[in-house]
Amino acid sequence: MLIMDVGSTKRDVVDAARRVLREGNLGSFVPAHPITGKEVAGVEHADADLYLDKQVILTPIEHTQTKQLKMAIDIWQALGCRVQQMSPEAHDAAFAAVSHLPHLLAFALMNAISGQPQGQDFLALAGPGFRDFTRIAASDPRVWRDILLANREELLTQSKIFQAHLQTLELMLTNNKSKALEELIVQASSTRSQWQMNQPQE
């Protein structure tokens, strides 16, 4: 028997597995998180290539049996995924930063705009940059309520770090610090330009 999940947080599902699975079955559980998805839900949006060339993170624990771990790796590789392993804690810290926080920011931005009297006029003018930036805001609300709550400690930590950087940028704007502002944008722009999806950096 192999038990897997495909959730976006791993510490909570490992905790739940420890609570409800018998000792023998706990060894059959391989926590998994495929790094792919869509902002639309439902079987009508099924996509046979969804997992192709994507990463999947497995977070085995001390009880996980070698045989089940090998089975899990084989299944994901057969679907076209590249498999990585890490601890549930390392997983949740990383995805707070690169997935859960961007969702939180996208939700906040949509509500910030639509909550203004001119919000609909503003939205009517938005272009391709806005389209891509806010795509994840359309994600399934109940799924993301659960993800954000399940990883709220790491997420709140990341949100505070983000706000400190945002406020630094605001300070450059307020004080008209053109040179310092440019340096911060260069840093952001070069980091993003050099980033490539699915290129693990050793």
CB of 142 vs its own copies, minimal distance in Å: 6
| 11 contacts its own copies (rule: CB under 8 A) | no
Q: Where are the alpha helices (DSSP H) in 4-56?
A: 11-20, 23-26
Identity of the residue, 26 or 172, whose beta carbon is nearer to its own copies in the bound complex: 172
Restricted to residues 96-125, the positions that interact with its own copies (CB under 8 A) are: 97-99, 101-116, 118-125
In sequence order, the 6+-apart residues with CB closer than 8 A to the CB of 59 are 10, 14, 31, 32, 33, 85, 86, 87, 88, 91
Q: Which stretch binds its own copies (CB under 8 A): 15-23, 24-32, 64-72, 189-197?
A: 189-197
Is residue 31 within 8 Å of 5, Cβ to Cβ? yes
What is the C-alpha separation between 197 and 199, in angstroms, rounded? Answer: 6
What is the nearest approach in angstroms of its own copies to the Cβ of residue 9?
A: 13
**Min separation Cβ 2 and its own copies, Å:** 24
Q: Is 182 in the site for its own copies (CB under 8 A)?
A: yes
Q: Residue 36 or residue 65: which is nearer to its own copies going by CB?
A: 36
Tokens linked to 76: 């994901």
The yes or no reply on residue 81 touching its own copies (CB under 8 A) is: no
- With CB under 8 A as the contact rule, the residue among 22, 46, 117, 200 that binds its own copies is 200
- CB of residue 28 vs its own copies: minimum separation in angstroms? 26
DSSP letter at 97 equals I
CA–CA separation, 91 vs 96, rounded Å? 9
CB of 97 to its own copies, least distance (A): 5
Is 123 within 8 Å of 131 (Cβ atoms)?
no
46 binds its own copies (CB under 8 A): no
# residues near its own copies by CB under 8 A: 93
Query: Considering just the CA atoms, what is the radius of gyration of the chain in Å?
Result: 20
